[in-house]
């Protein structure tokens, strides 16, 4: 009661920058992905602050879904899941061994990449649920030979619950022969486990792209990362797999980013703005300033390129970034529009066709949507809408 009263009387701090997270779109993406693999479970991947969407916010939204388990990278992320999500959590990343002591074993499952982690988890007995990660061909990490690993670690495997077998496709969004080679290694590893008396419940090789391309009844789960947030994994090469790209086009982005004008400056023709004089006004113009720079998540390569939507009481118009993006500020060429301090600026649109969609901003930055999304600082306010 005291906390409730405190919130009522405490002045509310409204930040100039915020992200809107559209709950209905995340839930619709999840349901659609699940419909594509009805015999398997979809594990939403919430690592890296839920791909910039906010780990807490994503957990709260997923409580309205049928998701049984979400995946994160580490114990600090798992702590947030424990608090805000009703289901279980799969920790994908490798951690300091002592970190396993702090995890809630009844709600947590662990991906195991090496013998040291397995031996440490064996101390917890059957309370420890592990997903063995086999190196099927991506060659970053994982167990090289499942049969050999079982033979040399049988006593430790018997002391834990082998609840999963997993790996990761290196080129799932492409028509690559590596995909079939990885599937073969993965199947052989599963057979080796079964022959040794281990029957994992969760068998997962597929990522976002694989949800659209794989039809393997051996797989009982898929890890949905980029697709869960509404972005097609085939966007860079839609002709590579047209059928899958067409299916993925039904996904809907769930994130929009906003700021406000905090200054308006008059610029005469020939005058420059921001660092290094990279922008000079071709004619008299007005410059608007937003408190959103590369610290907040705007790639500096968007300087003099990106377009953001300015919303005034009378009109909406597109405004190009003028000059170098700064650490905490960016300047916009307002031209002759009557924008003023306090007007809203849409930095990211959830409409894929807009110039300021995540996909288009990624192209302008010569990078991928993943990087654009995860760069949004965790301290920016997220609003579930």
CATH number where 290 lies: 2.40.37.10
Same-domain status, 50 and 165: yes
Asked if residue 235 is part of any domain, the answer here is no
Predicted local distance difference test score (pLDDT) of residue 186: 98
Asked if residue 299 is part of any domain, the answer here is yes
Same-domain status, 196 and 153: yes
pLDDT digits (tens), the chain, 385 positions:
666 666 666 667 789 999 999 999 999 999 999 999 999 999 999 999 999 999 999 999 999 999 999 999 999 999 999 999 999 999 999 999 999 999 999 999 999 999 999 999 999 999 999 999 999 999 999 999 999 999 999 999 999 999 999 999 999 999 899 999 999 999 999 999 999 999 999 999 999 999 999 999 999 999 999 999 999 999 776 566 889 999 999 999 999 999 999 999 999 999 999 999 999 999 999 999 999 999 999 999 999 999 999 999 999 999 999 999 999 999 999 999 999 999 999 999 999 999 999 999 999 999 999 999 999 999 999 999 9
Asked if residue 198 is part of any domain, the answer here is yes
Predicted local distance difference test score (pLDDT) of residue 239: 60
Same-domain status, 84 and 167: yes
Distance CA 279, CA 300 (A): 14
CA nearest to 307, candidates 266, 349, 277: 349
User: HEC states along the chain?
Assistant: CHHHHHHHHCCCCCCCCEEEECHHHHHHHHHHHHHHCCCCEEEEECHHHHHCCCHHHHHHHHCCCCCCEEEECCHHHHHHHHHHCCCEEEECCCCCHHHHHHCCHHHEEEEECCHHHHHHHHHHHHHCEEEEEECCCCCCCCECCHHHHHHHHHHHHCCCEEEEEECCCCCCCCCCHHHHHHHHHHHHHHHHHHHCCCCCCEEECCCHHHHHHCCCCCCCEEEECHHHHCCCCCCCCCCCCHHHHHHHCCCCCCEEEEEECCEEEEECCCCECCHHHCCECCCCEEEEEECCCCCCCCCHHHCCCCEEEEECCCCEEEEEECCCCCCCCEEEEEECCCCCCCCEEEEEECCCCCCCEHHHHHHHCCCCHHHHHHCCCCCCEEEEC
Same-domain status, 185 and 289: no
Q: How many structural domains is the chain composed of?
A: 2
Same-domain status, 182 and 290: no
Q: CB-based burial of residue 20 (10 Å sphere; 0-12 exposed, 13-18 middle, 19+ buried)?
A: middle
Distance CA 288, CA 342 (A): 10
Asked if residue 3 is part of any domain, the answer here is no
Distance CA 32, CA 228 (A): 9
Quote the domain boundaries for residue 158: 23-228+244-248
Count of other CB atoms within 10 angstroms of residue 291: 17
Same-domain status, 178 and 105: yes
Distance CA 179, CA 167 (A): 12
Same-domain status, 205 and 264: no
Q: Assign residue 201 the CATH number of its domain.
A: 3.20.20.10
Question: Which pair of tokens denotes residue 154?
Answer: 């049988």
CA nearest to 15, candidates 377, 384, 379: 379
Same-domain status, 30 and 175: yes
Predicted local distance difference test score (pLDDT) of residue 235: 78
Asked if residue 286 is part of any domain, the answer here is yes
Distance CA 367, CA 326 (A): 19
Same-domain status, 368 and 292: yes
Same-domain status, 41 and 168: yes
Phi, psi of 152 (to 5 degrees): -90, -10
Same-domain status, 74 and 195: yes
Asked if residue 238 is part of any domain, the answer here is no
Asked if residue 119 is part of any domain, the answer here is yes
| Strands 88-91, 69-72: pairing kind | parallel
Asked if residue 233 is part of any domain, the answer here is no
Predicted local distance difference test score (pLDDT) of residue 14: 81
Cα-to-chain-centroid distance, residue 275: 32
Same-domain status, 261 and 206: no
Predicted local distance difference test score (pLDDT) of residue 6: 67
């Amino acid at each position: 009661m005291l906390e409730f009263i405190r919130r009522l009387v405490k002045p509310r701090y409204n930040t100039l920058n915020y992200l809107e997270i559209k709950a209905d779109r995340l839930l619709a993406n999840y349901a659609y992905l699940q419909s594509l693999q009805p015999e398997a479970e979809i594990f939403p991947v919430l690592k890296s602050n839920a791909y910039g969407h906010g780990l807490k916010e994503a957990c709260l939204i997923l409580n309205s879904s049928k998701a049984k388990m979400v995946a994160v990278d580490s114990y600090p992320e798992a702590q947030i899941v424990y608090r805000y999500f009703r289901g279980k959590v799969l920790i994908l990343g490798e951690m300091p061994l002592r970190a396993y002591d702090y995890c809630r074993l009844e709600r947590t499952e662990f991906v195991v990449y090496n013998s040291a982690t397995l031996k440490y988890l064996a101390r917890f007995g059957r309370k420890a649920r592990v997903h063995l990660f086999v190196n099927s061909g991506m060659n970053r990490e994982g167990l090289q030979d499942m049969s050999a690993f079982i033979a040399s670690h049988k006593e430790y495997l018997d002391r834990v619950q082998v609840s999963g077998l997993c790996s990761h496709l290196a080129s799932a969004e492409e028509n690559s022969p590596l995909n079939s080679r990885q599937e073969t290694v993965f199947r052989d590893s599963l057979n080796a486990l079964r022959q040794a008396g281990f029957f994992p419940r969760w068998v997962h090789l597929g990522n976002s792209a694989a949800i659209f391309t794989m039809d393997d009844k051996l797989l009982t789960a898929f890890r949905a990362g980029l697709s869960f947030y509404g972005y097609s994994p085939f966007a860079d090469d839609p002709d590579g797999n047209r059928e899958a790209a067409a299916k993925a086009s039904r996904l809907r982005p769930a994130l929009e980013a906003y700021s406000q004008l905090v200054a308006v400056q008059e610029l005469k023709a020939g005058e420059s703005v921001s660092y290094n004089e990279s922008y000079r006004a071709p004619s008299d113009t007005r410059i608007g300033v937003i408190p959103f720079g590369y610290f907040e998540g705007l790639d500096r390569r968007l300087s003099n390129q990106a377009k953001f939507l300015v919303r005034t009481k009378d009109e909406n118009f597109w405004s190009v970034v003028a000059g170098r993006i700064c650490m905490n500020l960016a300047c916009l060429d307002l031209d002759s529009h009557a924008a003023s301090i306090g007007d809203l600026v849409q930095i990211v649109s959830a409409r894929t066709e807009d110039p300021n969609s995540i996909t288009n901003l990624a192209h302008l930055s010569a990078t991928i949507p993943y990087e654009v999304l995860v760069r949004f600082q965790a301290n920016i306010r997220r609003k579930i809408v």
